[in-house]
Amino acid sequence: MARKILIQISAAIMLITAVSFQLGCRVGGNSASADDRLNKPLATPKIDRDRPKIVAFGDSLTAGFGLTEQESYPNLLQQMLTKDGFNYEVINAGVSGDTSLGGLERVDWVLGADNVQIMILELGANDLLRGGPPSKMKENLDTIIKKAQAKNVRVLLCGMFAPPTMGQDYQREFNAVFPDLAAKYKLAYLPFLLENVALKKDLNQADGIHPNAEGEKIMTANVYTALKPMLTAR
């Protein structure tokens, strides 16, 4: 178990190092599509008002940066749910470059959708890249979680790791945010979204940051493993 955690942390460190050269989750494929994706989800979803909803809420890793709508993890997750007989509709609420503050500023609108039952919360990498205080990130995520729970929306929290180059104190404080929140609110918890994807050249796009179509499948499987115990069968 300890070895697995060390591997995950090492992967996260290398991922963040690469991101620093690419301006994080805001930089990717061609500039025209990148500009479009900075301020909105990958695609406007078709919403069935009566179906229970799962909101995939996060940054470019959620939005599907550099991928087609069909290749994005929310779409792949939808396919997996349907195949296994779960009557949920997945809403892609990922915005490239988003921070925990950006998420907090738009969460009320997202939670306002009809019949939202679960939120997959994936934010924090861009706070790290900007060197933002972990305490402020924790405060923002805490408020997002409370807003979700106030609407009886269950949360699956996806974590991230800080590299040693940020300093031991910063690293320790940042890394503790996600498990602390998961424990405080008794949340379902995925420690590292990109487990088995990060650092693998054949599973990532040219920027070395964002998963390619094959990597996206593995990332989706990571999410689904953590999500499945939360689901109610059709």
Burial 1-25 (b: 16+ CB within 10 A, else e): eeeeeeebbebbbebbebbeebebb
Judged by DSSP in three states, 215 sits in: helix
Quickly list DSSP for 22-66. HTGGG--S-HHHHHHHHSS-SSPPP--TTS-EEEEEESHHHHTTT
- Give the chain's count of helices (H) and strands (E): 9, 5
Question: Is 108 one of the catalytic residues?
Answer: no
Any residues with CB less than 8 A from the CB of 91 and at least 6 apart, and which? 45, 47, 53, 54, 55, 56, 74, 110, 113, 116
List the catalytic residue out of 59, 60, 72, 98.
Answer: 60
List the catalytic residue out of 59, 96, 98, 210.
Answer: 210
List the catalytic residue out of 10, 142, 180, 207.
Answer: 207
Question: Is 142 one of the catalytic residues?
Answer: no
In the numeric block, the tokens 């900075």 are attached to: 38
* Catalytic (active-site) positions: 60, 207, 210
